[in-house]
A = this chain, B = another copy of it.
Amino acid sequence: MAKNEKFVEDITPMDVDFAQWYTDVVKKAELTDYSSVKGCMILRPYGYAIWENIMHELDRRFKELGHVNVAMPMFIPESLLQKEKDHVQGFAPEVAWVTQGGESVLQERLCVRPTSETLFCEHYAKIVHSWRDLPKLYNQWVSVVRWEKTTRPFLRTTEFYWQEGHTIHATAEEAREETLRMLKCYQDFYREWLAIPVISGRKTDKEKFAGAEETYTVEAMMHDGKALQAGTSHYFGDGFARAFNIMYSDKDNVQRYVHQTSWGVSTRMIGGIIMVHGDQDGLVLPPRVAPLQVVIIPIAQQKAGVMEAAEALLERLKKKFRVKMDDSDKMPGWKFSEYEMRGVPVRLELGPRDIAAGHCVAVRRDTREKLTLSLDDIEDSLSALLDQIHDSMYAKAEESLRSRIYTAENWEELSHLLAEKPGFVKAAWCGDPACEEKVKDELQATSRCISDDQVKDGSHCVCCGREASKVVYWGKAY
C-alpha cells in the first residue's frame, strides 16, 4: 500500500536534526500544545491518555507496596521552604512566587511547590508520635513548577506532572531499603511497561538532590545517545527530620528522629518513550501504555458485508483491548500513515477477501511485519502479538543501549568518545567534584551515576590521573 508521502514528509529526518524530529513528532501526534504561559505545556488528549495509562499502572504498583495517596497544598510559605538549608539553596532560585492573594499583598510570599518535602515534613511532624505510627508511606500525583529558561515538551517544562512519594521510617536501614525498593520499582516499570532498559545507580554528591544524603537514579539512553534521567529515589537520613523536628517515641520510650525518603517520576517518561522507540514515521508506542493498542481499518468499506464484519470485530476486541475502528471516508493509505505516525502498535486490515477467508491482516508498527490472523481466536493471537511487540521493542532498545556503552581509560579516550560516539562512557573517577566540573566544562558531559562495578586495582581517575575510587557512567544528558 502506497504511503501518503505528503503526510510523512512533515517530520524532519531524525539524522538531520534530532531535536527538530522530536518537536515535529510531538506536534504532529498531537501530544502537547504550547500555551500562552512561556514554558508551560498543554497535554492534549492523546498525550494525556499515555500519562493516564502510566499513572494507572504505577499507582497500582505503589499501592501493592503499601503506599497510600494524599494531596498537599500547591503553595509553600517562604519560611517553610527555608527550614532545610541545602534544600532551599537548591530550589529557591527556580520557583514561582505568589505575592498577592485576592485584593491584598501577602505578608509572606508563597512559592508554588517545586517539590513537596517541606510540606510532608510539616505534616509528619504533627501526626507522628509513636513507633506505632511508622512507617508512613505517602505519595501524591500533582504538578509542580520550576522556573526553567529553556523548555521542551515533556523533557523540561516550567510546570510538569509527576508523582512524589515521601516516606518516613523508624530506622535508617528501613529508609534505605525503601529508597532502593522504589528505584527497583521504577526500573521494573520501565522494562515491563515502557519497554525501556535503564542503567541505575547512585548519583555523585554533585548531582544529588538538594537536601538528600544519597540520590539513586535510573537513566535511559535516547536514540541520539544522550541520557535521560528517568526517575530518582532519595535517601534523606534524618536531615529533614532534625530540621522539622519529626520525632517518635520508640518501644524503649526514647524519642528518636525518623528517617526519610522521597522518589519521583514525571511526564518526562513520555519524552523517553518518544526518543527511545520513535522512528522516522513518528511514534512507536509500547503496547501497555498506548492509548490505542489496535486500530481496525476496513478495506473497500463500501462493499457488502465489510462494515458489518468490522463492527463485529470491534465489538469483540473492545472487551479486551484499547481499540478503535476508523470508518472515515479517508483513503486506507492515508489512515495507515496516520496511525503509524501515532504509534498504534497493531493495525488490522479487514477487506472482502479477508472476511471470506475468515482472517484479517495484522501489521506491526514496530517492525512493519505483516501477519495473517484467523478471526476464530483473534483475541488470543492479538494478546500474544502485543506481548511479542513489547518484548522485541525492549530487546531492540536494550541492544541499542548495550552497544553504546563505551569504556575510557584516560582523558583522551574520554574526550574522543564523548565527542565522536554518542552514548555513555564508563570510566574510573577519583571522587573529586573538581574532576566532574572539568568534564562538564570541557566535554559538556556529566556523571550520570556511579556503576556497581568495582574499581580495578591501580586504576586511575580518567580526569586527573590520581587513584580512582569509583567507576562512573559519563554522558551528555537532556
Contact = CB atoms under 8 A, between A and B. Distances in A.
Interface stretch (A44-52, A249-257, A420-428): A44-52
Contact of A102 (B35, B42, B77, B95): B95
Nearest to A99: B99
Interface string A117-152: 001001100110000000000100011010101000
B48 A69 contact: yes
A477 interface: no
A98 interface: yes
Interface in A31-78: 33, 35-37, 40-45, 48-49, 51-52, 68-77
A18 B52 CA distance: 40
Copies per complex?
A: 2
A153 to B, nearest CB: 12
Contact of A74 (B48, B74, B100, B103): B74
A101 interface: yes
A96 interface: yes
Interface string A82-126: 000000000001111111111100000110100000010011001
B122 A37 contact: no
Nearest to A104: B147
A69 B97 contact: no
Given A73-B41, A98-B98, A36 B147 contact: no
A49 B67 CA distance: 12
B68 A43 contact: no
A45 B138 contact: yes
Interface in A176-214: none
Given A45-B68, A73-B35, A73-B42, A102 B94 contact: yes
Given A75-B159, A95-B102, A96-B101, A42 B70 contact: yes
Given A42-B72, A43-B71, A37 B77 contact: yes
A321 interface: no
Contacts of A138: 45
A373 interface: no
A110 B37 contact: yes
Nearest to A73: B40
A80 interface: yes
Interface residues of A, number: 53
A96 B96 contact: no
A161 interface: yes
Contact of A98 (B51, B97, B122): B97
A374 to B, nearest CB: 31
Contacts of A40: 73-75
A69 B52 contact: yes
Given A35-B73, A80-B36, A112 B126 contact: no
Nearest to A69: B48
Nearest to A119: B35
Nearest to A101: B147
A70 B143 CA distance: 13
B74 A49 contact: no
A142 to B, nearest CB: 8
Contacts of A158: 101
A7 to B, nearest CB: 17
Contacts of A112: 74, 98, 112
Interface of A: 33, 35-37, 40-45, 48-49, 51-52, 68-77, 80, 93-103, 109-110, 112, 119, 122-123, 126-127, 138, 142-143, 145, 147, 149, 158-159, 161
16 contacts: A33-B123, A37-B76, A40-B73, A41-B73, A45-B69, A45-B70, A48-B70, A73-B159, A74-B74, A74-B143, A74-B159, A93-B103, A98-B98, A98-B99, A98-B112, A100-B109
